[in-house]
């Protein structure tokens, strides 16, 4: 039995403080007030019987006992988050057929998890899942080749399609780790390395180009890369810099050591990830799938990203309270 005073919320607060060294940033990550963060830490340290954080230093640092406790608590939180994302009650047994498309941004992690969760619920159902770019998925919904699709919102509203917003995915800058160029230098074309474009025709490239035009910014198109991971690899190798999103950055974990991440100095620059369903599918099924996808995004993308980059907390988040 856990000692009185050790709570899941307290461990989450401790993890956030360990990662940021700041009560204010831990409050932003956990959604608590700063006094509540401090109280949670006092309760946890009292229950453990040891100082976990050196409160006299700025930024705060872990004590030896804190480092030991963090290793164990991170493993426990990881398992709990995984359980929360995968234990989902959906009544889909009545469906005879479901054709679902998912943006290829999620291929590496979330799509396999969602597929296994749905497969457990779709007993007796003919289930087809495809992955593609957002433009292709939007066209498939228009043509009624898909019943639902999880994709980035396009500029065109499709009649007869219901949108269930999932998350806000802001645009960010990624540069080689060794580059010292600041955002304004990069956007002005004054950096020593070129801008790497996504390939023309991809929705993300259309959105980035539109945003740059709105800001009266023009960057040469010497490089156009159709593969997201190839583009991230080129950044990590020092070939150039790029504009992407946190979802894209989190897909490229293997290249993180070679990249530096910074905010795009335009807070409204973001895309929206949504679930789109034909109007004949209104009801609990698309809502249940949307909730499940949001749980997966929070546990495996948003939570880890905002823990590493606390400045993302107010930019990269779920839309609406549909995970409860």
Q: What is the mean pLDDT of the chain?
A: 86
pLDDT value, residue 77: 73
The secondary structure element, H or E, covering residue 291 is helix 284-297
Q: Are 161 and 277 in contact (CB under 8 A)?
A: yes
d(CA 295, CA 61): 31
Regions of the chain with pLDDT less than 70 = 1-5, 78-94, 321-324
Q: Is 275 helix (H, G, I), strand (E, B) or coil?
A: strand
pLDDT value, residue 26: 83
- For 155-193, what is each residue's pLDDT tens digit? 888 788 999 999 999 999 999 999 999 999 999 988 889
pTM (2 decimals)? 0.73
Instruction: For residue 166, report the phi and psi dihedrals to the nearest 5 degrees.
Output: -110, -55
d(CA 311, CA 38): 20
pLDDT value, residue 1: 52
DSSP 22-78: -HHHHHHHHT--HHHHHHHHHHHHHHHTS--EETTSSS-EE-HHHHHHHHHHHHHHH
Q: Is 148 helix (H, G, I), strand (E, B) or coil?
A: strand
Q: Is 322 helix (H, G, I), strand (E, B) or coil?
A: coil
d(CA 256, CA 14): 24
DSSP 94-145: T-SEEEEEEEGGGTTTHHHHHHHHHHHH-TT-EEEEEEE-HHHHHHHHHTTS
* Burial grade of 75 (CB within 10 A; 0-12, 13-18, 19 or more): exposed
For residue 164, what are its two tokens? Answer: 């269930």
Strands 126-132 and 259-263 come out as unpaired
């Amino acid at each position: 039995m856990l000692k009185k005073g050790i709570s899941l919320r307290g461990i989450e607060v401790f993890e956030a403080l360990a990662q940021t060294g700041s009560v204010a940033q831990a409050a932003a990550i956990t959604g608590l007030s700063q006094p509540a963060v401090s109280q949670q830490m006092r309760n946890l340290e009292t229950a453990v019987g040891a100082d976990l954080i050196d409160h006299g230093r700025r930024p705060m640092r872990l004590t030896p006992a804190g480092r030991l406790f963090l290793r164990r608590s991170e493993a426990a939180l990881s398992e709990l988050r995984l359980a929360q994302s995968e234990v989902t009650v959906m009544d889909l047994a009545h469906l005879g057929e479901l054709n679902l498309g998912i943006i290829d941004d999620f291929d590496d992690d979330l799509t396999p998890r969602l597929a296994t969760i749905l497969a457990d619920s779709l007993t007796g159902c003919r289930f087809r899942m495809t992955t593609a770019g957002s433009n292709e998925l939007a066209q498939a919904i228009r043509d009624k080749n898909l019943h639902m699709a999880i994709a980035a919102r396009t500029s065109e509203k499709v009649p007869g399609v219901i949108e269930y917003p999932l998350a806000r995915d802001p645009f960010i800058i990624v540069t080689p780790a060794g580059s010292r160029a600041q955002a304004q230098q990069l956007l002005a074309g004054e950096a020593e390395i070129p801008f790497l474009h996504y390939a023309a025709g991809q929705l993300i490239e259309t959105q980035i180009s539109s945003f740059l035009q709105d800001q009266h910014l023009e960057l040469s198109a010497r490089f156009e890369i159709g593969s997201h991971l190839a583009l991230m690899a080129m950044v990590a190798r020092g070939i150039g810099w790029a504009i992407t999103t946190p979802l894209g950055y989190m897909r490229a974990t293997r290249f993180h050591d070679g990249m530096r991440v910074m905010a795009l100095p335009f807070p409204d620059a973001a895309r929206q990830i949504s679930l789109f369903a034909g109007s004949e599918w209104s009801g609990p099924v698309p809502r249940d799938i949307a909730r499940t996808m949001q749980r997966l995004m929070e546990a495996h993308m948003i939570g880890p990203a905002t823990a590493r980059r606390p400045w993302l907390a107010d930019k990269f988040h779920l839309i609406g309270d549909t995970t409860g």
